[in-house]
Amino acid sequence: MPTAARWAAATLAVGLLLGTAGCAAEEQPAAAGPTPRPTQTARPTPPPPVLAPLRGTVAAEGADERPALAAKIDNHEGARPQLGLERTDIVFEELVEGGLTRYVAIWHSDLPDEIGPVRSVRPMDPDIVTPFGGIIAYSGGQEVFVDMMMNTPVVNAVFDFDDTGLFYRDDVHESPHDVIVHAAELVRRNALLPPPAAQFEYAVDDGEPTSVAEGAANSVVQLRFSDARWPSWGWDAAGASWLRSQEGEPDLDAAGAQLRASNVVTLLVEIDDYSFEDIPRTLMIGAGEAWVSSGGSTVHGVWRKDSPAGSIRLVSDLGTPITLAPGNTWVELVPSSGGVEIIP
């Protein structure tokens, strides 16, 4: 091959090699860098659950915003079984004339459509109801007692004055133990009233109620209001609640189930027998002995209430505020002439 031709061929070969090497360099992937981490988005902390003020349990949606409804509930044999007592937040049992008892029952967390039978008010009822605000339903009463109740900041719904259909007489009980209230409708008509304030302190975050932490285990709380009324509460470990009896017989609701409570608060109270002739008046403004039963145990202490609008304060013998178990409560206003027996 002539020299010029060989030189041209060599030049072409070198060019081809350089072109191939250049292409290879262009096709080689770049060195991999560190893999970027995904951005961590902070999760919002959920708000704490809203607790029902009169039970210390988690409130149903919207239930904490409505007002409390109190009612004067009959406890005559002819009024049993009562309607709605099993769904109360708090019930007060009080002595009335003839050695009988009546209830001031308060609904807030769980509101039935109907409650009753309702009866007339007594002179201690304003001091019991005022701290809850909201509404009080009753059938009437002596003019002086009705005036006392009307002078509280609580909305009064009275059978004797009602012409709007909130009350009716049922065909289950005989008169006068037959007046029933449309409870849910009564609350709906007064929905703008504020909800109640908490009345007791509750053990929260899995804490023990004071009766368990400081008290002693017991099986029965036996009470005596009079020779005609001696209720008792027996601890049901399986149901984790106290079961109510009256005069030795189970106290049943309208469905045939025994009434039960998470807490039984027993207050020894003085009775004014003279200011209103034969109508006993439980003195709610004052202080005295107290027994608080929760979780199958009872702790002894003192109670105090300083004003009509003030709540009942409970302090143990060790000087600590008494906390209750979350749930419903019965408050037994036992006369000092009666009796309280805590049975192991």
Domains of the chain in start order, with CATH, are: 63-343 (3.50.90.10)
Per-residue model confidence (pLDDT) at position 232: 98
Per-residue model confidence (pLDDT) at position 185: 98
- For 39-132, strand residue ranges (E) read 69-73, 90-95, 101-107, 114-115
In the three-class reduction of DSSP (H, G, I as helix; E, B as strand; rest coil), residue 96 is classed as: coil
Q: Could you tell me the two tokens for 72?
A: 């004067």
- Determine the residue type at 331: V
Tell me phi and psi for residue 76, to 5 degrees: -70, 150
In the three-class reduction of DSSP (H, G, I as helix; E, B as strand; rest coil), residue 87 is classed as: helix
The contacts found for 178-181 with CB under 8 angstroms, 24 or more apart, are: 178/116, 178/117, 179/116, 179/117, 179/118, 179/119, 179/139, 180/83, 180/114, 180/115, 180/116, 180/117, 180/118, 181/71, 181/114, 181/115, 181/116, 181/118, 181/137, 181/157
For the chain, list residues with pLDDT below 70.
1-42
End-to-end CA distance of the chain: 125
Q: Could you tell me the two tokens for 297?
A: 């145990």
Q: How far apart are CA 284 and CA 326, in angstroms?
A: 24
Per-residue model confidence (pLDDT) at position 63: 84
> Measured over all CA atoms, what is the biggest interatomic distance in the chain, rounded to whole angstroms?
148
Per-residue model confidence (pLDDT) at position 36: 60
In the three-class reduction of DSSP (H, G, I as helix; E, B as strand; rest coil), residue 93 is classed as: strand
Q: CA–CA distance from 135 to each of 67, 192, 227 (Å)?
A: 7, 11, 33
Q: How far apart are CA 2 and CA 128, in angstroms?
A: 127
Q: How far apart are CA 267 and CA 2, in angstroms?
A: 129
